[in-house]
């Protein structure tokens, strides 16, 4: 191993070893005692002499059984429970640092023992919230220089003592706000999430430098790419403020607890840069893309509703994703900074800053109101027909008469045009025109690692409202803007960043200058050397348009960053942006139900029968017309939110209110649901003349599982060649009709040999990188070239290629992070990531995909099998094969009866409601190696969910669909009968058949 030796890793990771190491070098840690009995616990509590105390049982999953005790009685109860739950009957009694200030230091060390601090980071949310779920700010804002130096010295002492030879480490500290006592919490002896953030925040490429240090260089030998003059041993200095805010996905797991704790729950993050904290945090809030425009000023969480004391106290007292917005609600309700500090322990410095933003909103409002009222009086004197125009004049006047200095200050506070439009009762376009006319213009500043001490060579910018514009002169090439995907979320993740990065690479090669705009610090697209110019900006119309105009781009690519840029497409075009590739009109046509139905009619293609309803009663009536099962969903919603498959009117009645509530006032869409239909995802590339299928992926699960959550096989494994030919023809016709220039994804369903079109997306899809790797053709690069005028025949890709090997996609869904969540695949996407299994054998490709998502398929042991009635006939074959492979089968009464009748030996287990031992007991005891459990009905029965939940918690292989179980059987067979080999993808290149 290079970089870090096993001993150093062990010392950094093991709680006890780490504590000893810290004490050895004279650093403070949280005080704690390991105890094995109530008496020892009592002695420990007496010795620590404080409350609250944290109790952590040893070796329980996800820290279960632990808790915070605020008094003696709670302490006794939690310790007793913890001792009972811990398999070694041991609990850690630890000093509680809840509410302390939290800091991180990103440190690098080389083999000459030179150490540098790359960046200090302060958590806005105090201790108690996982740092990944906290709002964080760089550099640290509330440390005095002396305190910072103490922390810097401590960081170097830690990295030396732990013995990370070379590379980066992240060290976390907590500081008691009252006494100033500083303790070391933990260190990561590796590159971490925070180092990615620190890299983007400073422009210092931590991972790259870490790799070079590992092979023998020292910091002074490596130069800083940005300045080209300074060595990497110069600590970066920054003259701006960086804010990161996590993005959550609680709406996907409505049954789960949304409180933020020490276990991370966020799925992505946005970062923003500003001259001040105020500008930075407001930009970051709008970068989140959750409907918030900033801190107030309308939009989601920023309206003028009054909240009661109870709601405010509750939202401030317990950490949650919306807490920051309740700080404003609290100010509006008359709370002082001190009141909010008492509830949140957020440092008063931050709270004062937030208060200043809110006061600015009030100041703007007051200036608008005084204008509005004076105009209103004049209008009142005239007749009613003049009233409307007078009102318009009044609002325009509020903007027209606002003091330019105030307007500039508001922009410097990070207020977007959308916020100003709301506050000044105007509209965005008018605000933009007015401020530009007054000379309140966006300026761009460089991220240069050195606070402008040296010249910077890498064009990496952020917007601000200052006097200087640091944008470098153009190189004389045509510039193309690529709009990224913003913060990761379920449904829009790394796949889209992959496409954006490819676009940039392809267009740079083709001689364009590329301009990347994105707000996600975790990505390759926001690396300073991926594009010619990088703008770290929120992906809103205002921010993107400013960059486009600043750079004088000749075109913008919107089809690669997922839904975020697509949503901006029409507005960008209306503002003079040349959207290249498939037109925004075609994108809209594919989304609009009526237009899309007309296109399908014209091409003679089918879609499942469907209706639209505007009321609950209508929805029930329309569903009746179609006949059950139906698929209902709200319109204008992505990722399958609020989507249900319903088998009876009774089921529909139970959820219909919920569906309408997702998008109040919008129609609900009802489709005839095609039961047990095979689903197929097709990715296609088109240049307007030639279209080529990139890949066809057959879902393993039947239609009804969101394509983002489905496991897939490429090439299709059950569909006959004639059907694939029909699919191909339909794909090409749709590409032609929608005038696709670039990429397109179509989801088809096949039932009783009939082809149905479920959905068409004229943009890069989630499966593009998977397909590109399966066939060895960089589809996203080709698409970017096409959008700038190249033709497929010039690029040498005119024929569809089918891999001779098998590629299987499988996903991971974060059930374990959300205890209590319903565990079943469905029409709403909930997975965060995916893996690929590649092999010449289909069974092995599936087995590899399973092994990659962990746990892999077992080859021996016990299988618990319990399926819904309609799956029982097929379960017989599955069970028979498993028994032949030597597995012992366990079932509950229903399935056991069917299997026994088929002559298969099966052991009966009690249902959870029937008694014990049941499946959950066996899973917990490690006696079950695979669970096959297919849920029946709309809401999986609670006892079934308990079984699946236990399987996930105890890392047991689980199949929740009958088709998945069948694939698992093939996988197990392959593992038993065939040699499992490994092969690099470079050796799969060209291993294709031409269609």
SS3 (DSSP) at 782: helix
Query: Around 21, how many Cα atoms within 13 Å sit in the side-chain half-sphere?
Result: 25
Judged by CB under 8 A, the stretch of 291-299, 542-550, 888-896, 981-989 that binds another protein is: 981-989
Out of 524, 574, 725, 939, name the contact with another protein by CB under 8 A.
Answer: 524
**Which residues in 7-26 contact another protein (CB under 8 A)?**
9-10, 13
Decide: is 982 part of the binding site for another protein (CB under 8 A).
yes
Which residues, numbered 42-61, are part of the site for another protein (CB under 8 A)? none
CB 895 within 8 Å of CB 868: no
Interacting positions 333-392 with another protein (CB under 8 A): none
Pick one of 86, 832, 892, 918: the residue that binds another protein (CB under 8 A): 832
Q: Which is nearer to another protein, 94 or 834 (CB)?
A: 834
Q: Closer CB to another protein, residue 695 or residue 827? A: 695
State which of residues 541, 685, 821, 851 lies at the interface with another protein (CB under 8 A).
Answer: 851
Q: Spell out the SS3 assignment of 569-614.
A: HHHHHHCCCCEECCCHHHHHHHHCHHHHHHHHHHHCCECCCEEEEC
**Residue number with CB closer to another protein (186 or 877):** 186
State the nearest-atom distance from the C-beta of 457 to another protein, in Å. Answer: 17
Residues 57, 139, 298, 814: which binds another protein (CB under 8 A)?
Answer: 814
Among residues 3, 126, 394, 826, which is the contact residue for another protein, using CB under 8 A?
A: 3
264 binds another protein (CB under 8 A): yes
Site for another protein (CB under 8 A): which residue of 65, 236, 837, 935?
837
Written as six digits, the tokens of 135 are: 């709002």
Our CA dihedral for 762, 763, 766, 767, rounded to 10 degrees, sits at 70
Instruction: Please identify, using beta-carbon distances, which residue of 380 and 984 lies nearer to another protein.
Output: 984
Minimum Å distance from CB 833 to another protein?
Answer: 3
Could you tell me which stretch among 151-159, 476-484, 810-818, 940-948 binds another protein (CB under 8 A)? 810-818
Q: What does the buried/exposed string (b/e) look like for 532-561 if buried means 16 or more CB atoms within 10 Å of the residue's CB? A: bbbbbbbbbbbbbbbbbebbebbbbbbbbb
Choose which of 67, 126, 139, 778 interacts with another protein (CB under 8 A).
Answer: 778
Cα 585 to its chain centre, rounded Å, is 28
Among 11, 848, 948, 973, binds another protein (CB under 8 A): 848
CB of 981 to another protein, least distance (A): 7
How many helices (H) and strands (E) would you count in the chain? 33, 36
When the beta carbons of 494 and 749 are compared against another protein, the nearer one is: 494
Other C-beta atoms lying within 10 Å of the C-beta of residue 530: 20
Strand order in the sheet with 930-933: 907-908, 888-891, 862-866, 930-933, 957-959
Residue labelled with tokens 């079943």: 824
8 A C-beta contact, residue 932 and residue 875: yes
Piece of 95-103, 429-437, 463-471, 805-813 that binds another protein (CB under 8 A): 805-813
Identity of the residue, 195 or 961, whose beta carbon is nearer to another protein in the bound complex: 195
Residue 773, interface with another protein (CB under 8 A)? yes
Segment interacting with another protein, rule: CB under 8 A, options 277-285, 338-346, 578-586, 830-838: 830-838
268 interacts with another protein by CB under 8 A: yes
518 binds another protein (CB under 8 A): no
Task: Decide: is 809 part of the binding site for another protein (CB under 8 A).
Answer: yes
Residues 96-125 binding another protein (CB under 8 A) are: 111-112
Largest CA distance in the chain: 93
Report the run of H or E that residue 408 belongs to, with start and end.
Answer: helix 404-412
From residue 878 to residue 897, the character string flagging contacts with another protein as x (rule: CB under 8 A) and all else as - is --------------------
> CA 566, 572, 578: angle at the middle one, nearest 5?
100
**Site map 742..771 versus another protein, x via CB under 8 A:** ------------------------x--xx-
CB of 853: closest distance to another protein in angstroms? 6
**Residue in 688, 819, 833, 936 binding another protein, rule: CB under 8 A:** 833
Q: Does 316 bind another protein (CB under 8 A)?
A: no
Do the bridges between strand 182-188 and strand 167-175 make them parallel or antiparallel, or are there none, so unpaired? antiparallel
Cα–Cα distance between 284 and 279 in angstroms, integer?
A: 9
For residue 654, state whether it binds another protein (rule: CB under 8 A): no
User: Residues 6 or more apart from 661 whose CB is under 8 A from it?
Assistant: 642
- Asked if 1 touches another protein (CB under 8 A), the answer is yes
The three-state secondary structure class of 360 is helix
For the packed helices 309-317 and 337-344, what is the interaxial angle rounded to 10 degrees? 50
Residues numbered 488 to 507 that lie near another protein (CB under 8 A) are: 488, 493-495, 497-498, 501
Helix (H) or strand (E) segment spanning residue 959: strand 957-959
Tell me the C-alpha distance between 295 and 984, whole Å. 49
Q: Say how far residue 338 (Cα) sits from the centre of its chain.
A: 34
Window of 431-439, 522-530, 891-899, 941-949 that interacts with another protein by CB under 8 A: 522-530
- C-alpha pair distances (Å), 477 with each of 507, 513, 532, 673, 788: 11, 6, 11, 52, 13
Tokens 């299994």 correspond to 837
Q: Is 853 in the site for another protein (CB under 8 A)?
A: yes
In the complex, the smallest distance separating the C-beta of residue 500 from another protein, rounded to whole angstroms, is 10
> Torsion-angle region of residue 464: left (phi > 0), alpha (psi -120 to 50) or beta?
beta
If the CB atoms of residues 382 and 859 are measured against another protein, the closer one turns out to be 859
Question: Mask of contacts with another protein, 145-184, x by CB under 8 A?
Answer: ----------------------xx----------------
Residue 132 as a binder of another protein (CB under 8 A): the answer is yes
Report CA dihedral (93, 94, 98, 102) to the nearest 10 degrees. Answer: -150
Of the chain, the end-to-end C-alpha distance in Å amounts to: 46
Torsion of CA 55, 58, 63, 66, to 10 degrees: -20
Segment contacting another protein by CB under 8 A, of 85-93, 312-320, 549-557, 832-840? 832-840
Q: Which is nearer to another protein, 262 or 802 (CB)?
A: 262
Beta carbon of residue 78, minimum distance to another protein (angstroms, whole number): 25
Residues 904-943 that bind another protein (CB under 8 A): none
- If one asks whether residue 803 binds another protein (CB under 8 A), the answer comes out as no
Tell me if 191 contacts another protein by CB under 8 A. yes
Binding marks (x or -) toward another protein, 580..619, rule CB under 8 A? ----------------------------------------
6 binds another protein per the rule CB under 8 A = yes
Q: Site for another protein (CB under 8 A): how many residues? A: 86
* Residue 211 vs residues 222, 283, 461, 674: alpha-carbon distances, Å: 11, 33, 26, 52
Binding test (CB under 8 A) with another protein, winner from 24, 722, 984, 994? 984
In sequence order, the 6+-apart residues with CB closer than 8 A to the CB of 223 are 229, 230, 231, 232
Regarding 856 and contact with another protein (CB under 8 A), the answer is yes
At residue 192, what are phi and psi to the nearest 5 degrees? Answer: -130, -175
Residue among 486 and 935 whose Cβ is closer to another protein: 486
Residue from the set 793, 854, 860, 976 that interacts with another protein by CB under 8 A: 854
C-alpha dihedral sign at 289, 293, 296, 302: negative
Write out the binding residues for another protein, residues 209-248 only, by CB under 8 A.
209-212, 214-218, 221
Of 192 and 464, the one with the shorter C-beta distance to another protein is 192
């Amino acid at each position: 191993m290079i970089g870090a030796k096993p001993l150093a890793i062990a010392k950094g990771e093991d709680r006890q070893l780490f504590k000893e190491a810290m004490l050895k070098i004279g650093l403070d840690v949280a005080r704690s005692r390991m105890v094995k009995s109530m008496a020892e616990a009592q002695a420990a509590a007496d010795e620590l002499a404080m409350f609250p105390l944290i109790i952590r049982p040893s070796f329980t999953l996800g820290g279960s059984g632990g808790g915070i005790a605020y008094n003696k009685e709670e302490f006794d109860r939690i310790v007793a429970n913890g001792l009972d739950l811990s398999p070694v009957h041991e609990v850690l009694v630890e000093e509680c640092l809840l509410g302390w200030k939290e800091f991180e230091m990103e440190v690098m060390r080389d083999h000459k023992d030179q150490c540098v601090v790359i960046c200090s980071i302060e958590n806005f949310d105090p201790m108690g919230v996982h740092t990944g779920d906290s709002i964080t700010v760089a550099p640290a804002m509330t440390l005095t220089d002396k305190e910072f130096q103490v922390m810097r010295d401590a960081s170097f002492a830690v990295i030396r003592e732990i013995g990370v030879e070379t590379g980066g480490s992240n060290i976390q500290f907590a500081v008691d706000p009252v006494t100033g006592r500083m303790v070391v919490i933990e260190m990561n002896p590796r590159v971490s999430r925070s180092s990615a953030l620190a890299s983007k925040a400073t422009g210092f490429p931590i991972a790259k430098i870490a790799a070079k240090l590992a092979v023998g260089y020292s910091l002074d030998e490596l130069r800083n790419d940005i300045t080209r003059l300074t060595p990497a041993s110069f600590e970066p200095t920054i003259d701006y403020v960086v804010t990161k805010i996590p993005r959550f996905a609680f709406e996907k797991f409505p049954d789960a607890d949304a409180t933020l704790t020490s276990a991370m729950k966020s799925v992505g993050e946005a970062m923003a840069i500003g001259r001040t904290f105020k500008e930075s945090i407001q930009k970051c809030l709008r970068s989140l893309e959750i409907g918030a425009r900033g801190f107030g000023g309308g939009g989601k969480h920023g309206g003028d509703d009054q909240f009661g004391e109870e709601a405010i106290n509750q939202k401030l007292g317990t950490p949650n994703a919306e807490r920051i917005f309740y700080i404003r609600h609290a100010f509006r309700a008359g709370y002082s900074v001190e009141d909010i500090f008492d509830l949140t322990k957020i440092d008063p410095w931050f709270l004062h800053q937030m208060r200043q933003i809110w006061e600015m909103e009030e100041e703007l409002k007051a200036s608008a109101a005084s204008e509005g009222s004076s105009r209103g009086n004049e209008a009142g004197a005239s007749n009613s027909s003049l009233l409307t125009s007078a009102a318009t004049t009044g609002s325009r006047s509020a903007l027209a008469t606002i003091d330019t200095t105030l307007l500039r200050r508001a922009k410097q506070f990070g207020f977007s045009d959308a916020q100003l439009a709301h506050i000044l009762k105007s509209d965005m376009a008018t605000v933009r025109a007015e401020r530009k006319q007054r000379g309140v213009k966006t300026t761009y500043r460089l991220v240069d690692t050195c606070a402008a001490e040296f010249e910077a060579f890498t064009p990496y910018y952020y917007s601000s409202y200052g006097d200087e514009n640091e944008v470098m002169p153009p190189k004389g090439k045509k510039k193309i803007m690529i709009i990224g995907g913003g913060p990761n979320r379920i449904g829009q993740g790394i796949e889209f960043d992959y496409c954006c990065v490819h676009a940039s690479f392809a267009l740079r090669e083709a001689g364009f200058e590329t301009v990347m705009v994105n707000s996600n610090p975790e990505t390759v697209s926001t690396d300073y050397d991926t594009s010619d110019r990088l703008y770290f900006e929120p992906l809103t119309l205002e921010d993107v348009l400013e960059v486009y105009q600043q750079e004088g781009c000749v075109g913008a690519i919107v089809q690669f960053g997922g839904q975020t840029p697509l949503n901006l497409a029409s507005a960008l075009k209306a503002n003079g942006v040349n959207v290249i590739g498939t037109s925004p009109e075609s994108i809209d046509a594919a989304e609009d139900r009526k237009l899309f139905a007309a296109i399908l009619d014209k091409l003679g293609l089918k879609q499942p029968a469907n209706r639209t309803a505007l009321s609950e009663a209508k929805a029930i009536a329309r569903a009746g017309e179609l006949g059950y099962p139906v698929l209902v969903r709200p319109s204008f919603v992505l990722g399958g939110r609020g989507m249900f498959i319903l088998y009876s009117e009774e089921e529909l009645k139970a959820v219909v209110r919920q569906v309408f509530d997702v998008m109040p006032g919008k129609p609900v869409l009802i489709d005839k649901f095609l039961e047990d239909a095979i689903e197929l995802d097709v990715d296609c590339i088109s240049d307007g003349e030639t279209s080529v299928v990139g890949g066809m992926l057959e879902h393993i699960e039947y239609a009804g599982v969101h394509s983002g959550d489905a496991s897939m096989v490429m090439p299709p494994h059950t569909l006959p060649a004639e059907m694939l030919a029909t699919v191909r023809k339909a794909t090409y016709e749709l590409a032609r009709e929608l005038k696709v220039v670039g990429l397109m994804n179509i989801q088809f369903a096949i039932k009783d040999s009939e082809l149905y079109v479920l959905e068409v997306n004229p943009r890069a899809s989630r499966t593009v990188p998977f397909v590109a790797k399966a066939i060895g053709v960089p589809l996203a690069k080709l698409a970017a070239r096409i959008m700038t005028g190249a033709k497929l025949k010039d690029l040498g890709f005119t024929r569809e290629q089918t891999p001779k090997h098998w590629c299987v996609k499988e996903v991971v869904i974060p059930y374990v992070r959300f205890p209590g969540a319903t565990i079943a695949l469905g029409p709403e996407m909930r997975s965060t990531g995916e893996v690929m299994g590649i092999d010449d054998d289909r069974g092995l490709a599936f087995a590899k995909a399973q092994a990659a998502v962990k746990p892999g398929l077992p080859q021996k042991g016990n299988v618990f099998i319990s399926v819904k009635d309609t799956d029982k006939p097929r379960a017989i074959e599955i069970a028979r094969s498993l028994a032949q492979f030597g597995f012992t089968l366990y079932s509950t009464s229903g399935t056991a009866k069917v299997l026994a009748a088929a002559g298969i030996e099966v052991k009966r287990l009690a249902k959870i409601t029937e008694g014990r031992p049941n499946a959950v007991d066996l899973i917990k005891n490690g006696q079950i190696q695979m669970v096959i459990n297919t849920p029946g009905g709309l809401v999986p029965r609670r006892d079934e969910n308990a079984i699946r939940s236990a399987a996930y918690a105890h890392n047991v292989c689980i199949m929740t669909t009958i088709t998945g179980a069948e694939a698992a059987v093939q996988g197990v067979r392959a593992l038993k009968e065939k040699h499992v080999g490994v092969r690099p993808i470079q050796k799969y290149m060209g291993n294709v058949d031409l269609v």
